[in-house]
């Protein structure tokens, strides 16, 4: 079991290399071991490309040649962090491929709850004569793909709340003006987070006052979709959020219209179940994860609805003495990390 855990940890390390590119697929890592030696490994390619198991097999073939690799597979264990797929999607079923290659053993981190897989991959492997074990580092594997599992089981994106507050718990100045709270390292970290998620959301007031671009300009990575709640379409057309860098989606009460630099989506009964309706629309658009960055009213909207999964709160050493109070989470942080002279508090609604 100790050896199985060792190789499964390697699968997890590989899987995160796909963060920000595989959605709406899960992040998966795979390792092929022959006589205590890794002969191939891989992780899921960007969406539409080969899965982790295929990439691991292809690496082994590239290293040893197809004939020799085929012989090695018969005596090898394949480790994979998520149940191999059992259906035709963008690619053929990985479970069928593993049976065809004649692997001796497959060790799986956790089941895939997607209806077309969910135990069917394991069944195909076992019916194909492969010794199959399930549940090695299961909790770690479940946590890794919490975004994917939330979308599949709850029919909504995984929601991350993010804000910064002073040490005396103020979120913004009393006047409608921008004032930085966090240090440069924290701001760069936020840009890294944006590159890892599908979309980022703000309210109209934040878009008007701060005029944020909501890009990853301080980090190398893809730009997320930019989502804004603008009930009465108050945001100017030349706002940074509409610069065309990435898709912009505006939830509003007035009109639906597809424009070159923004998509307007009208919500009927706008103020009724607003957070729920936004998340469901994003789910239908294959958005798997969402960072809600503000302002305070928008963050509170998701907190009050109980529609959040994770919160990342920066606390700076600054004291303002007055300002707009920051949102509140009625639980202790799961983890605290220093980011320069800022303190990052991580909360998980359910783990």
Annotated binding site for NADP(+): 164, 180, 210
Give me the helix-helix angle, 52-64 and 94-101, nearest 10°. 30
Give me the helix-helix angle, 94-101 and 120-127, nearest 10°. 20
Beta bridge partners of 252: 266
Q: Which residues are annotated as a binding site for Zn(2+)?
A: 51, 85, 94
What gap in Å lies between CA 107 and CA 8, rounded to an integer? Answer: 8
Q: Which of 104, 93, 36 is nearest to 71 (CA)?
A: 104
**Total count of residues recorded for the chain:** 351
Query: In the block, which residue shows the tokens 């295929």?
Result: 54
Residue 269: which residues within 8 A CB-CB, separation 6 or more?
none
Active site includes 53? yes
What is 48-66 written as a DSSP string? TS--HHHHHHHHHHHHH-H
Query: In the block, which residue shows the tokens 């629309």?
Result: 281
CB 61 within 8 A of CB 32: no
CB 263 within 8 A of CB 252: no
Q: Between the CA atoms of 322, 327, 331 and 335, what dihedral angle is there, to the nearest 10 degrees?
A: -80
Q: Which residues are annotated as a binding site?
A: 51, 85, 94, 164, 180, 194, 206, 210, 214, 217, 293
CB 24 within 8 A of CB 148: yes
Count other Cβ atoms within 10 Å, centred on residue 214. 28
Residue 321 has φ and ψ, to the nearest 5°, of: 80, -25
Candidate list 5, 35, 53, 268, residue with the active-site label:
53
DSSP-H helix ranges across the chain: 2-15, 52-64, 66-73, 94-101, 120-127, 138-144, 146-154, 184-196, 204-209, 274-284, 296-305
Active site residues: 53
């Amino acid at each position: 079991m100790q050896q199985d855990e060792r190789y499964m940890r390697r699968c997890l390390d590989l899987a995160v290399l796909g963060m920000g590119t595989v959605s709406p697929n899960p992040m998966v890592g795979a390792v092929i071991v022959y006589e205590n030696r890794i002969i191939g490994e891989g992780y899921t390619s960007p969406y539409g490309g080969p899965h982790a198991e295929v990439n691991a097999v292809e690496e082994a073939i590239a290293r040893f040649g197809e004939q020799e690799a085929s012989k090695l597979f018969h005596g090898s264990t394949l480790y994979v962090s998520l149940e191999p797929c059992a259906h035709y999607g963008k690619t053929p079923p990985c479970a069928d491929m593993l049976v065809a290659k004649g692997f001796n053993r497959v060790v799986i981190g956790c089941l895939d709850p997607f209806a077309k897989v969910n135990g069917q991959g394991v069944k195909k492997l076992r019916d194909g004569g492969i010794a199959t074990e399930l549940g090695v580092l299961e909790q770690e594997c479940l946590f890794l793909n919490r975004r994917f599992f939330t979308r599949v089981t709850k029919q909504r994106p995984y929601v991350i709340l993010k804000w910064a507050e002073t040490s005396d718990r103020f979120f913004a100045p009393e006047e409608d003006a921008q004032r930085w709270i966090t240090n440069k390292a924290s701001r760069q970290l936020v840009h890294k987070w944006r590159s890892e998620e599908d979309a980022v959301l703000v309210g109209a007031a934040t878009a008007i006052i701060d005029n944020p671009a909501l890009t990853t300009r301080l980090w190398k990575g893809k730009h997320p979709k930019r989502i804004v709640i603008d009930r009465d379409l108050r945001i100017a057309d030349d706002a940074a959020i509409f610069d065309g860098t990435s898709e912009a989606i505006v939830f509003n009460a007035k009109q639906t219209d597809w424009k070159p630099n923004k998509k307007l989506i009208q919500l009927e009964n706008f103020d009724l179940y607003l957070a729920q309706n936004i998340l469901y629309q994003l789910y239908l658009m294959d958005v798997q994860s969402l960072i809600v960055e503000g302002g305070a009213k928008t963050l509170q909207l998701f907190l009050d609805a109980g529609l959040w999964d994770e919160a990342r709160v920066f606390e700076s050493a600054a004291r303002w003495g007055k300002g707009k109070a920051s949102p509140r989470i009625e639980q202790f942080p799961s983890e605290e990390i220093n980011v320069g002279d800022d303190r990052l508090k991580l909360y998980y609604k359910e783990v």
